[in-house]
Structures are given as structure tokens and as C-alpha cells.
Amino acid sequence: MFSKILIANRGEIACRIIRTARRMGVATVAVYSDADAGSMHVAMADEAVRIGPPPVAESYLDGERIVAAALMTGAEAIHPGYGFLSENPDFVDRVVNAGLIFIGPSATSIRAMGLKDAAKRLMEKAGVPVVPGYHGEAQDIVLLASKATEIGFPVLIKARAGGGGRGMRRVDHADDFAEALSSARREAKAAFGDDRVLVEKYVEKPRHIEVQVFGDNYGNVVHLFERDCSAQRRHQKVIEEAPAPGMTDEMRAAMTEAAVTAAKAISYSGAGTIEFIVDASQGLRPDRFWFMEMNTRLQVEHPVTEMITGVDLVEWQLRVAYGEALPKRQDEIELDGHAFEARLYAEDAAKGFLPATGTLHHLWFPDEPAPGTSLRVETGVREGDTISPFYDPMIAKLVVHGPDRETALDALGDMLAETEIAGSTVNTAFLAALAADPDFAAGDVDTGLIGRKQDALTAIPEPSEGFVTAAALAVSGLSETASPDDPWSALAGYAHFHAAPKRVALRYGEQEIRAAVSVVNGKTEIALIPAPLSPPHKGMGDSEAPRLSEKETHESKRSASSLWGGVRGGGNPPPRLARWPGHITIFDGPVSYMFSVPDPLERAEEAGGGADSLRAPMPGLVKVVRAAVGDTVAKGQPLLVLEAMKMEHTIAAPHDGVVAEIATEGSQVTDGATLVRFAEAGE
């Protein structure tokens, strides 16, 4: 076995590979950009080498630097993980030419499957069914549009290189084809350096079912059953499961046979995935599935396959790359139970799954499974780490296994409900809503499920009065939730002659909340006051704050114990919460409510007004500008396209107005930077 390998990746997959390598007695070398100098994968590895600044083109995509790092540290092989250089045949050639071993398929196999159009032509020759469409070389817009008309709308425009939903657009009408093609090409060029596309028939009730295959250097190829990845948003997987719900023996035999045939057609060695699109309008039928593409690498969702087969796929990768035969024959691989994986991202599901950044001030995952189930957390971050705008915003993959689908799904719901993250907007509540959706729970899922129910799945209920009160109490310092580092918290609210209420201010979204907290006869009482809180004068302390009127106090006064069953023992426990700089996060199962503690001076500045503007939701590159100064725009009208975290995000007008200023095309903007300023009255 190898004595030392270099991992040409970052985040959770780098950590995942390190764990298996360590168990096998293989030393590891991590590589890192400046943004990842203090990251988890760097800390876990035996050695680490800096390879450049944060942009991926200058670090994780710099094959020359990565190979040099391997040679410098004495590594014998390079594991690419997934993404970055994992499916780059030129990188494989560079590794091999340097006298190193690439832990993955040959450059020839990657080239054969790397371009979707060529791969589909190859699969047709091998007898594997493919989706009807245009897979040719010509890229003239008139030709592509005519082919789309021949195929029949709706059609799917797909980048011929790469994956992950990038460079992919559904087109329902001929009038929309040109705009969708332009957008797909831009995104494909930015993500893969190749803007060529193919056009395929869009399947109306599609399911995405893929088969895990594994080959060695001796002509052996096996499958490790299927995964269902139909729960997708924006063509990116959200919750994956194995096996596929509703799978029949006949359908499984046909799909796995086609997958093994596809792998053998290119003499495949290593871990790979054959992805099929399935027409589920009449259930799962052997004549209703078609080859989409092959991913010549380890998949993000590989843990669900490991959970149902008991196989460590990374260990198999190392053994096969070292020259060993496959550890098991096909008849030795058994399917046991059911597994789910949920992808936990820093993103705002309610705002179109907009990626988020931030520091993970509080991070906790459950580690005790329910009886008869098992769980694992795949992550590359720790509490205190920052979600960078330079890379994919994944926080963790939550994986569960149970004896059957219902039990496993219940375990996933429990795991999501117990997970706590504060410091960034996350999609935990959305994942829990999807897992609890009646159609998903019944296994009636297709790639359009999330789109059809997006509003319901991403809706967050308003925080209850009890949660608002809990946040106010935590800010006041008059409870056990006060910071243990505050030596004066024990005296907070004390008055010798009268009960002086402590005034606190909170903000939830755009709503400002004020409350008064006091201790009367040993009992904590809270008055929530609906009226707006005017900014206090500079230097005003709690003792100088205006007193609550008797009417205000009696209208909303509540005993803390009456709201959640007692703060200091007795009844139900208080809500779970996390305090972090300037904020309180309250957890209600998978839902989290973030309250901020406004700075009085900031409130005063905001009250002073300012131009009506539209700000950048994250750092990024202004890719396209669709309006000019002086234009009259309508609410919802696209104004510009922001490229961030490897995806394009359309920024639309929040209301009707006239553009007074707008960012320039090609400009790099920071989080919160003004993108558009609207003219004020009379301007």
C-alpha cells in the first residue's frame, strides 16, 4: 500500500479521504489556499503545503503547483476528491508524467466520458439507451434553435463539460431559447472553460437515478446498486437516498447491467457513477430510462452507498490505484437497509437558495442515533470557521441508515431537528420540510418536486412570543442564558427601592422589538412593547432610560416561566439558543430564528436616511448589466447578473423606480456593496 498520498482538494471530501487513509496507515499531505490556511483538512493531515491565493484558478486548479507539492513532500500518489481537477484528463497526464499515480481512472477514460455529447455517441454504440437530443459538434445558435424545435419543447440546454447543474437551462418556449442559451454558455465558460452545449428533450416527470460502478486494472467491473438523487433544486442535488424508492428487481437488473456495460466500454478503473434520467410518469419501467452522463470520480453522495453495502469506497480507490484487484465480486456485494444524505449548505432557501457567508459561531451535530439506526456527519468545518465566498458553501452532509426507508427518514428528520448552527443563514429548515413532505415521504419524487412546492418548503413561520421573549431575556442578562463571562449579570435588574426594568432592543429581520425585563420578588418578568424604539441619546445607560408607562407594562407583561415552563427548573426546558457577537439565535427543531442586537449609533444613522439602493447579497463579479442610468424599471425586472460561488444569480428590481446609478459590467463587488441606486423624488 502507498506510504503517503497528497489530496488535491479541500473541505469535507479532503477530511473524508484523510480518515480512511489514516485507518489504512497511509500518511497524507494537504494542500491549501490562503483562505484555507487554518482549515480543518489542513489540521487533520500529516503535512500541508500552500499552493496559492484564494481564487481556485490560482490554487486548487493549478495542477503544476499541486504536482510540485506532491514531489516535494515525497507523496507517491494524488487523490483528487471530487470537483476541481478530479475529471481533468490533462491533470491526470501531468501526474503520470511526473512519475506519480493518479487515484482514479485513466486520462483516456475521463476523455471518453468528459464531454456529454461524445459520451452519448459512445454509449449509443455500446447499446446503452440515451436521451433523444442533439449531441453534435456544431454550435451555431440558428442550428441549435432549429434542433430544439425538432426535438420539441420543453428542451434542456446542457453544458457538454462539467456537472453540478452549471450551464444547464430548461427552455419551455422557442422565444426564450436565445436568452437561455446565452446564459448557459456564460455559466459553462466560467465554470469549465468550455461554453459548448448540447440540447435534449426535457422529460416531464424525470427521476435522477444513478448506479455506482467500480472497476480495476484487470477488467473487472461491479456495481454497488443505485442511488436516487431526484430531490434537486436548480439542478443540484439536495437529499439523496439508496436504494431508489419503488425500484423493482426487473428495473434494477436492467439499469445495473447498462451501467456495467457503459463502464466496460471504456475499460474503466476506479470509482465512477453512471447517471440515468428516468421517465417516472408510469412508474419505474425498464424501457423508460436513458443514459445522461458518467461522473468519472467519487460522488458527493457516495456515503449512502457505503451505508447500504458496508463498503469503504475510498479504501477501494486506494487499493485499486495501488494495483490490487477489486476486494469483492458482484455476488459478494449485498444491499442492506436504506440510507439518506442531506446536504447542509450556508444558503438562504427563502431567497431562491442564495449562497450565504459568515462565521460559524455555534456548530453542533447530534451523535446518538435512535435504536436500530446509525448516523454520520461528513464535514470540513469546525465551530469558529468562516464560510468563504470563494468556494462551495457546503457545511456538512448528514447521513443516516435504517432497516427500511420509513425508519431511515424518521432518523433524518430527528438529526435535522437536533442540528444547531449559528452565524450564517443555513438550509436546515428547508431540508427538514422536504424530508417531511408527504410526496417525498411516500417516495413519489421527481426532479421538479422542489420547484413545484418551493414556497411551502422554504416558508419559515414567524417566531412565537415565547421565542422573542427568550431572546430578550438572553440579551438582558437576567437569566441563566446570560454570558458566564459577565461578572455583573448577577446584579442585573437589582434596585434597592423599586424594580427598575432593564430596557433591551432586538431586531428580527426588518422588525424592531423592544422589551423591559425586571426581577420582582425573585421572579423574572418581561414586557414586550410593540411600539418602535427611538434611538437613545449617546451615553445613555439603562438607569437613564425612560421608564415604561404603567399602561405599557401591564399590556404586555409576562412571567418568563409562563412562556416556556420555567427558566430555572420545573416544566419544559427553555428554548435552545446560542449567543454570538451582536446576535441571539433561537432553535425550534430545525428552524432557527436569528435576532440581532442593534447598535444605537447604527440605528441613528439609519434613521437619518439615505438613498434607496439595492445591495450585493454576497461578494461576486458583475457579469451582465441589463439596465442603464435613467431607465424606468418595474418590480421584478432583471437588472444585472452577479456571479458568485460558481453560480450566476439574477438581481431584480425590488420595486418600480428609475435607475440613478448602477454597477459596471465586470466589476468585483463586496458583500453589501451598492449595486443599484434608485432616483429619489425630484432627482
pLDDT in tens, 378-424: 999 999 999 988 898 999 999 999 999 999 999 999 999 999 999 99
Q: What is the pLDDT of residue 460?
A: 92
Cell numbers at residue 130, please?
A: 440515451
Query: Is 297 considered catalytic here?
Result: yes
Q: What is the pLDDT of residue 271?
A: 98
Of 185, 297, 503, 579, catalytic = 297
DSSP E strands: which ranges in 607-656? 613-615, 620-625, 632-633, 638-644, 647-652
Q: Is 472 exposed, middle or buried (0-12, 13-18, 19+ CB in 10 A)?
A: buried
Q: Could you tell me the strand order of the sheet in which 576-580 lies? A: 557-559, 523-529, 511-520, 502-508, 591-596, 583-588, 576-580
pLDDT at 493 over 60: no
User: For the segment 582-623, what is each residue's pLDDT rounded down to a tens digit?
Assistant: 899 999 999 999 999 876 544 443 443 344 788 887 778 898
Bin 521: left if φ > 0, else alpha if -120 < ψ < 50, else beta.
left
Residues, the chain: 683
Cell numbers at residue 647, please?
A: 453560480
| Contact present, 598 and 505 (Cβ < 8 Å) | yes
Pick the closest to residue 513 from 462, 461, 551, 564 (CA basis).
462
DSSP state of 430: H
| Contact present, 440 and 453 (Cβ < 8 Å) | no
Judging by DSSP bridges, how do beta strands 47-52 and 27-33 pair with one another? parallel
Alpha carbons within 13 A on the beta-carbon side of 569? 0
d(CA 614, CA 620): 15
Helix (H) or strand (E) holding 474: helix 465-476
| Contact present, 292 and 262 (Cβ < 8 Å) | no
User: For the segment 525-548, what is each residue's pLDDT rounded down to a tens digit?
Assistant: 777 775 443 333 333 333 333 334
* Chain centroid, CA 612 distance in Å: 31
| Contact present, 47 and 28 (Cβ < 8 Å) | yes
Average pLDDT (87-92) is: 96
d(CA 475, CA 494): 16
